[in-house]
Amino acid sequence: MQQYLQQDIQFLPGVGPKRADMLRQELKIQNFEDLLTYYPYRYVDRSRFYKISEVTSDMPQIQIRGQIAGYASIGKGRGKRLTADFTDGSGHIQLIWFRGAKWIPENYPIGKELVVFGKPTVYQRKLNVVHPELEDPAKKHTVSSNLQAVYSTTEKLKDHYLNSKAISKLMANLIKGLPSKFEETLPAWLLQKLNLVNLESAMRQIHFPDTAAQYKRAELRLKFEELFYIQLNILQGKTDRNKRFRGNVFETVGETFNTFYKDHLPFELTGAQKKVMKEIRRDMGSGRQMNRLLQGDVGSGKTLVALMSMLIAIDNGFQTCIMAPTEILAQQHFKSLGKFLEGMDVQVKLLTGSTKKADREPIHSGLLDGLLQILIGTHALIEDVVQFKNLGLVVIDEQHRFGVAQRARLWKKANVLPHVLVMTATPIPRTLAMTLYGDLDVSVIDELPPGRKPIITRHSYDSKRLMVFGFLKKQLAAGRQAYIVYPLIKESETLDFKDLEDGYESISRAFPPPDYQVSVVHGKMKPEEKEISMRHFVAGRTHIMVATTVIEVGVDVPNVSVMIIESAERFGLSQLHQLRGRVGRGADQSYCILMSGYKISEEGRKRLETMVRTNDGFEIAEVDLKLRGPGNIEGTQQSGIPFNLKIAHLGKDGQILQLARDTAENIVAEDPKLHLEKNFIFAKHVKKGNPNRIDWGSIS
């Protein structure tokens, strides 16, 4: 069985070396098993025929029966194509081919009864199907079932006649050759308990379903298995680590914390902040290393929670550091923590890439002799020259900007692993957090400080720009400030830069000096220039800040009440939400205006609608997950954690994931090492649940 599946794909009947190369390159299919687990992304019902008069362009792939009434060859050069007028008596539809002009009319003569299968579209107000599949109804399709699996392919594969149908044929060959007994990957007791079908049936039915009900059951079994092994892997690793990694015990809440809480805290903590502080204190006092993810929407007051946690570390004689993803943000933390701690005897320093050599020396020595208590900085903190005397707590802000490896280098800076608090303002849906950060504990600040007015968000077309500027003028006249943000997409940095420059020019024209002052910040400026520009804006000397997304993270200017996002359809949802979080920080009503042209993709439109509808970061994250799938969620790509679910979908399979999680929890609770005989199969396959998974705690 195992041997059969491990064979090189080129030895499958119907493949050979050339096609094997294509499959490898385009779909990463190397062996039989890779193909077997290349699951269809949907099914079409081939028992159903539509009348042409019923067909509309929003239908998926459909099937019609009729005849070709005539062929025509039109266009020149690359636009050259063959068309056929296809009719079934109820109407006409055009078939189009961009190649195969010679053999198609030969094989499918005029007047012959044919079945056409394909996706209807509209071009120049005419219904058509491009590159349809044509079949002789007398021969009927090769597949026995009426539900036909559809596999995603690429243009290149299609050019080499490896379309969905061809893959289906290969799949049939593979399954035909399977040895009689499939090796089960879940124990019988569990299949029975959860009423899941066995692996063999699942594999056959997922590719060649007899009925819709059968493939549903097959799908459930395979999705469950995939998610279950990930959860089992995570939970087993977690229990392991809890045993292995002892943590510093912060038993006291001492003078520093209490002084701050009583005399320096300028406001009452929100209920959510209090709850999270309790969770953190419990972790840090438990004797085990804390690994906690703190989620909270922009402006929910995470920084304060971080600060209070750091004060507890100091009270217990430890040093602590906070790492931010950008220089601007690190500086802002330095400033705001400095303000919170004014008049208290706590040693705080800032270390970033632009810290001068002469200033680094005292920082390094202060860290080594233990006098420096809080270090704030950027990536500069993970350089090897930065050594602490006794680092007890590491806070990482806006976690998604840091890779796992970078975090791990911070870990190393202490004998006993420091406690780790990872803060993120990109809310991660529960389902995703369970999988991505399953080995972290999660705290959520789900409440904003009181008195905040919800930001009003509107979508406006470019053609209404004058109205938007008129509105902006009123806000500026009332003493407010504004951000105008342009997209920055790596692939075309020069183009984007041009967008920004043009924008800056037209804004300067619409808001001319001396009444208005406009600042600009973008990625091509030197850090000092950026800094100066930001400083002018923060001080209120300029009214409008034209910027690329460099302001996305963390910048806090409470007087800004308007955020205008240009080409908003080009931004991802989480980015839009982050940007919007830059306003609404003061007492005034704030606004976010999403500008776009009329031409927006369906997905783009959904994103804008979602932004207009809600301010709730978790709701937005859920929509994002559904729209894009977890592989594209901001943060997961850079996180270094492999993410290649083959069949489960984290946005849609939340319930199955929960079942998988609960099941795995029960098993690990009863048998943490999977030594019981009934769990042998798990022990054998648990590595499957992410073979490349990185163990954050033990990395070195």
Classify 94 in phi/psi space as left (phi over 0), alpha (psi -120 to 50) or beta.
beta
Provide the minimum distance between the beta carbon of 413 and ligand ADP in the complex, in angstroms, as a whole number.
Answer: 24
User: Of 209 and 296, which has the nearer Cβ to Mg ion?
Assistant: 296
Q: Which of 235, 276, 298, 328 binds ligand ADP (CB under 6 A)?
A: 298
Judged by CB under 6 A, which stretch of 86-94, 230-238, 263-271, 633-641 contacts ligand ADP?
263-271
Residue nearest to Mg ion (CB): 554
Query: Which of 400, 434, 425 is CA-nearest to residue 633?
Result: 400
Rounded to a whole number of angstroms, the minimum distance from the CB of residue 450 to ligand ADP is: 7
Only one of the segments 1-9, 267-275, 346-354, 479-487 lies at the binding site for ligand ADP (rule: CB under 6 A); that segment is 267-275
| Closer by beta carbon to ligand ADP, 106 or else 342 | 342
> Quick one: which segment of 116-124, 184-192, 268-276, 630-638 binds ligand ADP (CB under 6 A)?
268-276
- Tokens 């979508």, residue? 459
Between 211 and 250, how does the x/- string for binding to ligand ADP read (CB under 6 A)?
A: ----------------------------------------
Residue with Cβ nearer ligand ADP (350 or 664)? 350
Q: Any bridge partners for residue 133, and if so which?
A: 117
**Is the CB of 270 or the CB of 542 nearer to ligand ADP?**
270
Residue whose CB is less far from Mg ion, 209 or 299: 299
Report the largest interatomic distance among the alpha carbons of the chain, rounded to a whole angstrom.
93
Smallest separation, CB 544 to ligand ADP (Å): 22
Report angle CA 653, 658, 660 to the nearest 5 degrees: 95
* Count of chain residues binding ligand ADP (CB under 6 A): 15
Q: How far is CA 314 from the centre of its chain?
A: 36
Closest CA to 500 of 527, 522, 529, 469: 522
**Any alpha helices (H) in 322-416, and if so which ranges?**
327-340, 357-369, 404-411
Closest listed residue to residue 572, CA positions, set 597, 544, 549: 549
CB of 342 to ligand ADP, least distance (A): 13
> Of the candidates 63, 300, 378, 663, which one interacts with ligand ADP according to CB under 6 A?
300
Residue 267, interface with ligand ADP (CB under 6 A)?
yes
150 CB-near residues (< 8 Å, 6+ apart): 40, 41, 42, 43, 44, 61, 164
Query: Both tokens of residue 327?
Result: 């220089």
Q: Considering the complex, what minimum distance in angstroms separates the CB of residue 577 from ligand ADP?
A: 12
Q: Interface with ligand ADP includes 273 (CB under 6 A)? A: yes
Q: Which residues between 501 and 560 bind ligand ADP (CB under 6 A)?
A: 556
One-letter amino acid identity for 526? K
Residue 269 binds which entry of Mg ion, ligand ADP, none, CB below 5-8 Å type-dependent: ligand ADP
Spatial separation of the C-alpha atoms in residues 532 and 326, rounded to whole Å = 16
- Closest separation between CB of residue 246 and ligand ADP, Å? 30
Binder of ligand ADP out of 63, 248, 270, 690 (CB under 6 A):
270
3-state secondary structure at position 307: helix
Q: Which residue in the set 449, 572, 629, 654 belongs to the binding site for ligand ADP (CB under 6 A)? A: 449
Residue nearest to ligand ADP (CB): 301
Angle subtended by helix axes 573-580 and 617-628, to nearest 10: 160
Which residues have a Cβ under 8 Å from the Cβ of 647 and sit 6 or more positions away? 37, 39, 206, 219, 222, 223, 226
CB of 542 to ligand ADP, least distance (A): 21
CA distance 553 to 579: 8
330 vs 623, which CB is nearer to Mg ion? Answer: 330
- CB 303, min distance to Mg ion, A: 5
Sorted by sequence, the CB contacts under 8 Å of residue 386 that are 6+ apart come out as 351, 364, 367, 375, 380, 413
Does residue 584 touch ligand ADP according to CB under 6 A? no
Instruction: Give the span between the Cα atoms of 275 and 25, in whole angstroms.
Output: 51
Q: In whole angstroms, what is the distance from residue 237 CA to residue 440 CA?
A: 11
CB atoms within 10 A of CB 524: 11
617 contact, one of Mg ion, ligand ADP, none, CB 5-8 Å limit per kind: none
Q: How far apart (Å, rounded) are the C-alpha atoms in residues 439 and 433?
A: 9
User: What is the pattern of x (binds ligand ADP, CB under 6 A) and - over residues 277-296?
Assistant: -------------------x
- Decide whether 127 or 344 has the Cβ nearer to ligand ADP: 344
C-alpha–C-alpha distance, residues 595 and 485, integer Å: 10
Q: Is 72 exposed, middle or buried (0-12, 13-18, 19+ CB in 10 A)?
A: exposed
449 binds, among ligand ADP, Mg ion, none (CB under 5 to 8 A by kind): ligand ADP
Cβ 27 to ligand ADP, closest distance in Å?
A: 42
Contacts of 527 (CB under 8 A, 6+ apart): 327, 353, 354
560: β partners: 481
Whether the Cβ atoms of residue 372 and residue 363 lie closer than 8 Å to each other: yes
Query: Considering the rule CB under 6 A, would residue 269 count as an interface residue with ligand ADP?
Result: yes
132 binds ligand ADP (CB under 6 A): no
By C-beta, is 288 or 585 nearer to Mg ion?
585
Q: Which of 265-273, 508-516, 565-573, 675-683 is the region at the interface with ligand ADP (rule: CB under 6 A)? A: 265-273
Q: Is 425 in the site for ligand ADP (CB under 6 A)?
A: yes
Q: Give contact residues for ligand ADP (rule: CB under 6 A).
A: 267, 269-270, 273, 296, 298-304, 425, 449, 556
